[in-house]
Amino acid sequence: MATGRGGRGRIGPWRALLPVVWVVAGVLFGTSASVSQGTDLRPGPADLADVIRGQTQRVEAQAKAVQQLRDQVDALTAEAAPGNRSVKKLQNQIDDLAPTVGTEAVTGPGISVTLDDAHRDAASLPEGYTADDIVVHQQDVQGVVNALWSGGAEAMMLMDQRVIATSAVRCVGNTLILQGRVYSPPFTIKAIGDVQGMQQALDTSQSVSIYREYVDLLGLGYQVDQSHLTFPAYEGSLELGHAQAAR
């Protein structure tokens, strides 16, 4: 029998659950304290490279999922309009542009350039030089990439990824970040195209020449090889997210 507003009456369902909520909260706080062992569970700036490495596997899985969706779209398009002249015309245009934009596998003569940190201790450096002078930097990698494009490269790979003209090269410390994946030196840049023109561009590039001065002085790694190369198709986004006019 129910009582008035001031009586004891039955215990409501939320009041009955309160002890359970307190127990669960206590377990969560205890687990957090045990895992952190007195440290901050959030990674700081120094752990940025490790955090990105941890996401590499997730990025690879998402890239595969994107490719599967693209295959499904292509299959549905072919099924829905196999005889559509407009679709065929657009597809022919895509096929003509594919080698240039990177969405098609390519093979041909090319150049491989490998950059590496100097294998020496900072204590052994001449006066006036620091540990920062014996590691490969973002501008060093970008200098080689720019020289190869300007020398006649038609297709390019950085480490194990196909890159295009709008691909961004970034570094955190002495690790390289490309399309969500992290790489440690040595860094290898490969390009298919006019071998003689690309070699000449490397030899005359100002940024590459500055890097080679440190190769001779401090022992940074620099190796150029010519061979027949095969590249897979580019699988990243073709859309340019951010751009700024050159001044």
Token reading at 186:
């040595």
| Distance separating alpha carbons of residues 196 and 166, to the nearest angstrom | 24
- CB within 8 A of 71, min separation 6: which ones? none
Token reading at 78:
């072919």
**H/E element holding 91?**
helix 85-101
User: Which range, 55-64, 176-185, 192-201, has the best average confidence (pLDDT)?
Assistant: 192-201
Residue 113 burial (CB count, 10 A): 22
pLDDT of 216 higher than 70: yes
Token reading at 210:
């500055």
Give the predicted TM-score (pTM) of the model.
0.60
**H/E element holding 206?**
helix 206-218
pLDDT of 143 higher than 70: yes
| Distance separating alpha carbons of residues 89 and 104, to the nearest angstrom | 18
pLDDT of 160 higher than 70: yes
| Distance separating alpha carbons of residues 107 and 231, to the nearest angstrom | 6
The sheet with strand 175-178 has its strands ordered as: 170-172, 175-178, 181-183
Residue 118 burial (CB count, 10 A): 20
The string of pLDDT tens digits covering residues 8-19 is: 344 455 455 445
Residue 192 and residue 155 in contact, taking contact as beta carbons nearer than 8 Å:
yes
| Distance separating alpha carbons of residues 132 and 135, to the nearest angstrom | 6
Residue 3 and residue 9 in contact, taking contact as beta carbons nearer than 8 Å:
yes
Residue 105 burial (CB count, 10 A): 14
pLDDT confidence of residue 199:
97
β-pair partners for 224: 113
φ, ψ of residue 129 in degrees (nearest 5): -115, 150
pLDDT of 209 higher than 90: yes
Instruction: Residue 163: name the closest of 103, 97, 93, 224 by CA.
Output: 103
The string of pLDDT tens digits covering residues 91-128 is: 666 565 555 556 688 899 999 999 999 999 888 999 99
**H/E element holding 75?**
helix 48-80
